[in-house]
Amino acid sequence: MKCIIIGGNIKVLGRAVHSLSRIGDELYLEPTENGLSLRSINSSRSAFASFLFAPLFFQRYEAGGPELFRCKVLMKSFLGVFRSLPSLEKTVEKCLILLKAQLSRLVVQLHCKYGVTKTHNLTFQECERLQAVFDTQQCASRLQAPAQLLAEAVVHFPPALAEVTLRVDAGGKISLRNYVDEGEPTKMMVTELCLAKEEFEAVAAVPDSHITFCLREFRGLLSFAEASHLPLSIYYDAPGRPVIFTLDDAVLEVNLVLATLSDPESSSQHPTSNGVSHIPAPPDDFADDLEAYMIAMETSAYEESSRDPPTPSFPLRTPQPPPSDPNEEDEEEEGGAVPGTPPHKKFRSLFFGSVLTPGGPNPAPVQEVLAEDSDGEY
Amino acid sequence: MRFRAKIVDLACLNHFSRVVNTIAKLAKTCTLRLTVSKLYFILSDKVLNGGVGMWCELNQGNFFDEFQMEGVSAEHNEIYLELMPENLSRALKTAHNAKAVKMKLTNKHCPCLRVAVELPSLSSSSRIVTHDIPVGVIPRRLWNDFREPSVPDFDVSIYLPALKIMKSVVERMRNLSNYVVIEANLSGEMNLKVETDLVCVTTHFKDLGNPSWALEDGCQSSQDRDPESMAEARIDIRKLQQLLAGQQVNPTKALCNIVSKRVVHLILLHEDVSLQYFIPALT
């Protein structure tokens, strides 16, 4: 993989890395024919973000032949390269990202003013594909607003606040309110913000619907969206189902998927609410195992990935076929957090299933860390 | 018991917000006392606060466009609330361009001071942000705990140097020691002193001036006092630093009364705000 970024786009990339750094500790890089994809997931598997930069975003883009290579790097080291956004804008003229598979180095080169070149050689790990399963088409509600509106809305909440509830009431009024657990003694200040429908670009929400999600990751995306002046779309369904935030541009596609807090009453019937429409599973022999996961991670071999669609849309199917593996079923019923990771209160964790193609060119079961947490328990 | 108030003027709002920010820096929880003409933020000098006391007084007429209150009874027409000033400060922080801010005492699930901020928006209707700040209503029988502190029978009263300078001096001294000795005399001299096993640092301020009221109706002890002799008090440097770093009222006058080895009484005066701060001396 080799790509060259020039001018203002370097800062865009930098801001994307800053936004991803709010999610997880590792950054997944995947060069595809459709562009370079940067992804991250948090440790409790309740937040996933992906930034896809189209080939046109780059001055030059080479995905790197048929054998596509995926890797992950430490977020800290990658963020270090793009740490200071103002100096990035002021001094850097050209940025070169080069994957040297033979040397096991990801090289990021910043060509600055006055002939200064900064070269960062980062170590990486080869990894499986990180893919969240979600489908915006299946979400009952959609809101679209200028990022600035939402950014101005969230400033009213304290920086330490964990969760916020988004509500569209019967009259179409849209409100944000900080989430207070009923059990907790209410010594906390409760802030509520009401926005008129007219301030949004599009409102197609189920009346009297609400979701509760984490503010931290959302703030990260908002700062990116605000700087890029892109409208932000919010797709959501019932409480407990993931909320999806998207930004779309000619050369950029951003998705942020966050777990939402499930309502005690609605969570019992939650798994059946999946099959709104019947999406045919990809011609993939292990898709069965993934069914009913809110987000699943797919591991596929190299040759497969090239034909995978960049926009994820898979297996939310009606759960009529009996599960092949009873363990998997258990896991889904459990609905709790992945053991060993700190769950966010009552958040339904977005489960990730990880499957490896048998006989793939890079069978690296040792790297299946993502799945290990959940599988090991049962 | 009812309370309802409204600020429309932006300058008043920002001024009020600065006062609240100052209070929030000085106290985690404090008492808000409301009377028909005034608001008070009070921290009484309990052991819990490390003996520090605060008394801040504002004329409501200089801040609020509407101010209606009905106290617990006709003869005790006052309201005492316990609140976290940090909450109020946070609520006002994002209100700097508000069209109006309304404050109201409510009791839905628990007693709350509701701060409703009306913000300009792009659409015809404005954005409304409401903050429900939980408060505790202080019963009548405890009101005596929050009486105005009397000006102590001080030995020396002196004007303070520019707070900015004093702040940077104290900040540096903070790195050396946890205690500072503040001493002053009636000839306009004040010293800030830290003493440790390794080093002794003193900053001298001269020609500060002594307020005349101190000499006229002041106290016995200061009248027949040698103008050169220093009155001193050793105090927790963090308490002093808190005041200097946190104050946002930019006082027109700042002065300091010292009761030798007992208490340091700092007074910051602005046109319509007065803030008194008591720091006990350590032995």
Structural element, H or E, at residue B244: helix B237-246
Q: Is the pLDDT assigned to residue A317 strictly greater than 80?
A: no
> B190 or A62: whose pLDDT is higher?
B190
Give the closest of B84, B91, B134 to A186, CB-based: B134
pTM for this model (two decimals): 0.76
Indicate the burial class of B70 (C-beta count within 10 angstroms; 0-12, 13-18, 19 or more): middle
Tens digits of residue pLDDT in B225-278: 788 889 999 999 999 999 999 888 888 999 999 998 889 999 999 888 999 999
What is the reported pLDDT for B217? 54
Residue to mutate among B29, B92, B125, with most A CBs inside 10 A, is B125
Contact of A74 with chain B, judged by CB distance below 8 Å, is answered with no
Query: Is B129 near chain A, with CB under 8 Å?
Result: yes
- Least Cα separation, residue B210 to chain A (angstroms): 44
Whether residue B131 lies within 8 A of chain A, CB to CB, comes out as: yes
Q: Is the pLDDT of residue A331 over 90?
A: no
Can you give the pLDDT at residue B283?
77
Residues of chain A with Cβ-Cβ distance to B110 below 8 Å are: 186
**Residue A186 to residue B129, Cβ atoms within 8 A:** no
The confidence score (pLDDT) of residue B72 equals 84
Q: Mind spelling out the 3-state secondary structure of chain A?
A: CEEEEECHHHHHHHHHHHHHHCCCCEEEEEEECCEEEEEEECCCCCEEEEEEECHHHCCEEECCCCCCCCEEEEHHHHHHHCCCHHHHHHHEEEEEEEEECCCCEEEEEEEEHHHCEEEEEEECEECCCCCCCCCHHHCCEEEEEEHHHHHHHHCCCCCCCCEEEEEECCCCCEEEEECCCCCCCCCCCEEEEEECHHHCCEEECCCCEEEEEEHHHHHHHHHHHHHHCCEEEEEECCCCCCEEEEEECCCEEEEEEECEECCCCCCCCHHHHHCCCCCCCCCCCCHHHHCCCCCCCCCCCHHHHCCCCCCCCCCCCCCCCCCCCHHHHHHHHHCCCCCCCCCCCCECCCCCCCCCCCCCCCCCHHHCHHHHHHHHCC
Average pLDDT score, chain A: 74
Out of B110, B122, B129, name the one closest to residue A191 (CB).
B129
A282 has pLDDT over 60: no
Where b means 16+ CB within 10 Å and e means fewer, A107-130 reads ebbbbbeeeeeeebebebeebbbb
- pLDDT tens per residue, range A218-245: 999 999 999 988 899 999 998 988 999 9
In the prediction, which pLDDT does A318 show?
36
Q: What chain B residue is nearest to A174 in terms of C-alpha separation?
A: B127
Whole-number pLDDT of residue A305: 38
The answer to whether B94 contacts A186, with C-beta atoms less than 8 Å apart, is no
A335: which residues sit within 8 A by CB, 6+ positions away? A262, A267, A270, A348, A349
Cβ contacts of A186 within 8 Å, gap of 6 or more: A180, B109, B110, B134
Helix H or strand E segment including B22: helix B10-26
| Distance of residue B108 Cα from the nearest chain A Cα, in angstroms | 12
Mutate to test the interface with B, among A181, A186, A191, A199 (most CBs of B within 10 A): A191
Read off the pLDDT of each residue in B191-204 and give the average, rounded to a whole number: 94
Determine the residue of chain B that is closest to A182 in CA distance: B109
Closest Cβ–Cβ partner in B124, B129, B133 for A156: B129
As a whole number, mean pLDDT of residues A201-206 equals: 90
Q: Is residue B7 within 8 Å of residue B95, measured between CB atoms?
A: no
Instruction: Of A28-32, A184-188, A337-341, B239-243, give the lowest mean pLDDT range.
Output: A337-341
Query: Residue A355: what pLDDT?
Result: 33
pLDDT on residue A145: 93
A242-256: b (≥16 Cβ within 10 Å) or e? bbbbbbeeeebbbbb
In angstroms, what separates the C-alpha of A17 from chain B's closest C-alpha?
Answer: 28
Q: Which pLDDT score, from 0 to 100, does residue A44 have? A: 87
Question: Which residues in A lie closer than 8 A to residue B91 (C-beta atoms)?
Answer: 189, 191
Instruction: Establish if A160 touches chain B: CB-CB under 8 angstroms.
Output: no
Residue A334: what pLDDT?
Answer: 38
- Write the residue in A153, A158, A198 that is nearest to B123 by C-beta: A198
